[in-house]
Amino acid sequence: MDDDSIKTRLTVVGLGGIGSNLVELLVPALEKIGVAIEISLMDGDIVEEHNLGHQRYTSKDIGEQKVMCLTRRFENLSNVKLIPITENLRTASQLVDSEMVIVCVDRPEPRRLVHSSVPVWLDLRCSGDGYVALSSDSDCELVEMMTPDHEPKSCQISGALEIGNIEFGFAVASAIGAQWAVQKIRKLITPTEMLGSITYGQLKFPDTSDKMELKQ
């Protein structure tokens, strides 16, 4: 694909359970509908054995960079160009060429960096069968409330993989991301935010007025 034909530049930050499945959904869809796009894949991690089962990698990928595995999978497409970036998001300068960013990480610092550095973004999260999506159209107070300090957290609940209990909140989050990206690129209405559980359905976000009252 000629660089002059590229219409949109998207960055996907984090290629774990959500991000790898998002790429698998989004890239073939954009190729099929003929969208000229450059997608940067950013992640410094390698594939490990415990990633298999809920991330889109195989045993042959173990020990390789996640971004390289996915980039090779979609080589030589006519419309979609993938750019591998084998590093984690640390500074806003890494996003300077991105028109849109989908962040799919397990910690708050890169999320906040995206929130403050990019005009159009989607923040996808999950835990067990639960999923969260926030966007650049969300209320800033809600985004701040939903992004507290915490240690890195896997999309699988601690101990779940060891007992064979894989949960699929990551799959719902990745589908939301793919739908958001296609609709945003096509300039259609996009989801603003979503919170839910596969088991219990749609859930309500916390009331931001509670936080405002605590500040006063």
Q: Which superfamily, per CATH, for 3-215?
A: NAD(P)-binding Rossmann-like Domain (3.40.50.720)
In whole angstroms, give the CA distance from residue 82 to residue 86. Answer: 13
In whole angstroms, give the CA distance from residue 177 to residue 56. Answer: 16
The ranges assigned to domains in the chain are: 3-215
Dump pLDDT digits (tens) for 146-194.
999 999 888 878 777 777 788 899 999 999 999 999 999 999 999 999 9
pLDDT for the residue 2: 57
Q: Assign residue 118 a region: left if phi > 0, alpha if psi is -120 to 50, beta otherwise?
A: beta
pLDDT for the residue 66: 98
pLDDT for the residue 132: 98
What pTM did the predictor assign? 0.93
